[in-house]
Every structure is written in structure tokens, then in C-alpha cells.
């Protein structure tokens, strides 16, 4: 049948015949054939709760996990009288696929948004939730243990790219098991400064309230991450950013480049930020380097810059190199 013919409304008798055939095929476990008939009803927008459940059953039995999940989300969005039945089916589908995080997220949202969950769904969902939380914790603990082992190996092999990926992978994770390793990494000269900044951010996000030692560029510093300002909240960072904002209206593209360079500069330097740092010199150096892409070679060669500006430019270029050292490997 051509697609334009499918706009014709089904006669009630024909609809009943297709439904009856589809439901019988589901009972006979002929899910492929049943799905074809149910999809035909869907083409005509002739569907109901019983047909939706039958279609979902076919997708699940045929192993079409992604399609089944999409259908569940569509059914949940209806918010009709069968909402809690769909929640139970969807949660069970995710649970059977070992998607414990998704189950937890789904049921948390349901319990938070719904003032009353009727029986028997309340008991069923509570039982599933408790079992899921137990398995979710086991899965998470295993993942953390594996990540810790891989990170130790990456440190031993001085693989800073792998360190970068593994440490970034720990956002929203319990980092308790990593604390001793993090302390060693922050003091080690073999760890990339960019990786150290990510570690400091993780400690701050987890409100780690203890003084630690950090080494970067042959310098040593002791800070309490919980009491030290976040990188983008640091007064020096904010002051330089404010100075750069004067070019935002005149040249938004240039401003975007300067803003990105400032972020990279601080990401490498942090937390070794001196209060007496010359904000205006840094601003000028950032603007100079960011504007090079707008100038031709002759203009660049003929431009005269001071020794002080040249020194800051050299520093910025060094920090750029350190930042991108992980990205280009």
C-alpha cells in the first residue's frame, strides 16, 4: 500500500480484524508478524493502550532495546491513566538491561514528581528500586575500582593522556578511594599541570577539607581545596576577564578568542596565581596573540612590541603549549 493511501481512515471492522490478528500473533509468540500488523495500525494512528502494550512486548521480545525504550518514553509523555503501568514496564526494561543508573534516575523522578503512586505499582516500584540501588552500588564500586587500577597504571607509565581521560571520567563519582593517589599526583613532577588542575577541581567539588601540597613548574603551594576559590571564581581571573570585556561589543569574535585563551592560561597556571600579578600586561598579551589571526604577515612583522609585552607573550605561548600537549597526542 502506498504511503499516501495510509491517510485513509480505517473501517472499524478492518481495524478490529488487524487488532485481533496482531494480538493472536503475540499470543503465538510470532512477534515479527505481530509487529507488522501493529505498525500498520500505527500508520493510521489507530492505536490504544492494549495495542501499545502489545507493540512494546514485541519490541522487547525481539531484542529491539532502543526502540522499546523510545516507545516507553513516548507512552510516559502521554501522562494518561496507564502512566504507572508504563513506568513499571520501562523501569523493568532498563533493569533487565543492567542500566541501573537509568532506573534510579527514572524512579527518583517519579517519586519526586508524583504525590501519590497507587497500589500495586507503589509496592512493585519500591521493591525494584531497592534491588536496583543495591546492584547499582555494586556496579559503581566495580567501575571505580577498575578506574583506580587503570589510573595507577597510567601514573606508573607516565601516560598523561590516559590520566587526563580517567580523571575527567570521575566527575559525579565518589572519589574517596582516589584521595591518596591524588595527593601523590599533585606532588609529582611527572604529572601534567592540566591533570593536576582537574584533580583540584574534583577535590573542590567533593568539598575536600584538608590542606594539600601542590607542585607546578618547580613551585610548591599548600592549599585547602574547600577554602580556596574555584578557578573561574578566582579574583585575578575575574579581573582579567572584566578587562577583556571592553572589546566584546567592538569585536565579539576577538573577545571569544581572548576569553578562551584566558581560560587555558589559568587552567595550566591554577592555583599558582599571585595577587600582585600584572593584570593589564596579561590582558595586552592575550589580546595581541588572539588578534594575530586577523592580521597579515607583513603587518605582524612590522609591528613593534615592548620587551615587557614580549615576555608575557612568551609565557602565554608556553602555557598554550602545555594545555594543548594533551589534546594533540
30 inside domain: yes
29 inside domain: yes
Cell numbers for 77, please give them. 509523555
Helix boundaries (H) for the chain = 12-27, 31-43, 49-61, 65-78, 83-96, 100-113, 121-156, 160-168, 179-187, 193-205, 235-244, 252-269, 279-291, 297-302, 307-327
Residue 8 pLDDT > 70, yes or no?
Answer: no
Number of domains in the chain: 3
246 inside domain: yes
146 inside domain: no
Q: Which residues contact 72 (CB under 8 A, 6 or more apart)?
A: 56, 86, 89, 90, 93
Between 52 and 12, name the one with better pLDDT.
Answer: 52
**Residue 49 — very low, low, confident or very high, per pLDDT cuts 50/70/90?**
confident
| Strand 219-223 with 212-216, pairing | antiparallel
d(CA 8, CA 255): 57
* Span 23-43, pLDDT tens digits: 888 898 898 998 888 887 766
- The range of the structural domain enclosing residue 42 comes to 3-138
Q: Which of 99, 123, 138 is the last residue of a domain?
A: 138
For the CA atoms of 283, 288, 291, 295, what is the dihedral angle to 10 degrees? Answer: 160
288 inside domain: yes
The residue-averaged pLDDT of 281-304 equals: 75
Same domain (yes/no): 250, 287: yes
CA 224 to chain centroid? 27
CATH of the domain at 245: 1.10.472
d(CA 265, CA 286): 9
155 inside domain: no
Residue 121 pLDDT > 80, yes or no?
Answer: yes
Residue 1 pLDDT > 50, yes or no?
Answer: no
Same domain (yes/no): 236, 194: no
Same domain (yes/no): 113, 60: yes
144 inside domain: no
Amino acid at each position: 500500500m502506498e504511503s499516501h493511501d495510509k491517510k485513509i481512515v480505517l473501517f472499524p471492522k478492518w481495524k478490529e480484524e488487524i487488532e485481533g490478528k496482531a494480538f493472536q500473533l503475540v499470543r503465538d509468540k510470532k512477534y515479527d508478524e505481530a509487529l507488522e500488523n501493529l505498525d500498520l495500525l500505527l500508520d493510521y494512528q489507530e492505536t490504544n493502550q492494549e495495542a501499545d502494550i502489545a507493540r512494546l512486548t514485541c519490541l522487547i521480545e525481539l531484542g529491539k532495546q532502543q526502540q522499546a525504550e523510545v516507545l516507553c518514553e513516548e507512552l510516559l509523555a502521554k501522562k494518561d491513566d496507564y502512566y504507572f503501568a508504563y513506568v513499571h514496564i520501562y523501569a523493568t526494561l532498563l533493569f533487565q538491561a543492567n542500566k541501573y543508573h537509568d532506573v534510579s534516575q527514572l524512579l527518583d523522578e517519579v517519586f519526586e514528581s508524583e504525590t501519590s503512586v497507587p497500589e500495586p505499582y507503589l509496592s512493585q516500584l519500591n521493591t525494584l528500586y531497592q534491588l536496583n540501588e543495591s546492584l547499582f552500588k555494586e556496579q559503581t564500586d566495580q567501575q571505580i575500582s577498575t578506574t583506580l587500577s587503570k589510573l595507577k597504571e597510567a601514573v606508573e607509565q607516565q601516560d598523561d593522556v590516559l590520566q587526563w581521560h580517567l580523571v575527567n571520567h570521575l566527575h559525579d563519582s565518589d572519589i574517596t578511594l582516589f584521595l591518596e593517589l591524588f595527593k601523590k599526583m599533585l606532588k609529582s613532577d611527572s604529572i601534567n599541570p592540566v591533570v593536576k588542575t582537574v584533580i583540584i577541581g574534583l577535590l573542590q567539588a567533593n568539598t575536600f577539607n584538608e590542606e594539600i601540597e601542590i607542585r607546578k613548574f618547580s613551585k610548591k603551594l599548600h592549599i585547602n581545596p574547600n577554602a580556596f576559590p574555584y578557578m573561574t571564581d578566582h579574583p585575578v581571573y575575574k579581573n582579567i576577564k572584566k578587562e577583556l570585556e571592553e572589546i566584546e561589543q567592538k569585536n565579539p569574535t576577538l573577545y571569544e578568542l581572548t576569553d578562551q585563551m584566558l581560560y587555558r592560561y589559568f587552567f595550566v597556571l591554577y592555583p599558582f596565581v599571585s595577587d600582585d600579578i600584572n593584570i593589564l600586561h596579561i590582558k595586552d598579551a592575550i589580546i595581541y596573540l588572539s588578534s594575530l589571526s586577523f592580521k597579515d604577515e607583513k603587518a605582524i612583522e612590522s609591528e613593534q612590541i615592548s620587551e615587557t609585552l614580549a615576555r608575557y607573550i612568551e609565557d602565554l605561548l608556553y602555557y598554550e603549549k602545555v594545555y594543548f600537549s594533551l589534546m594533540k597526542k
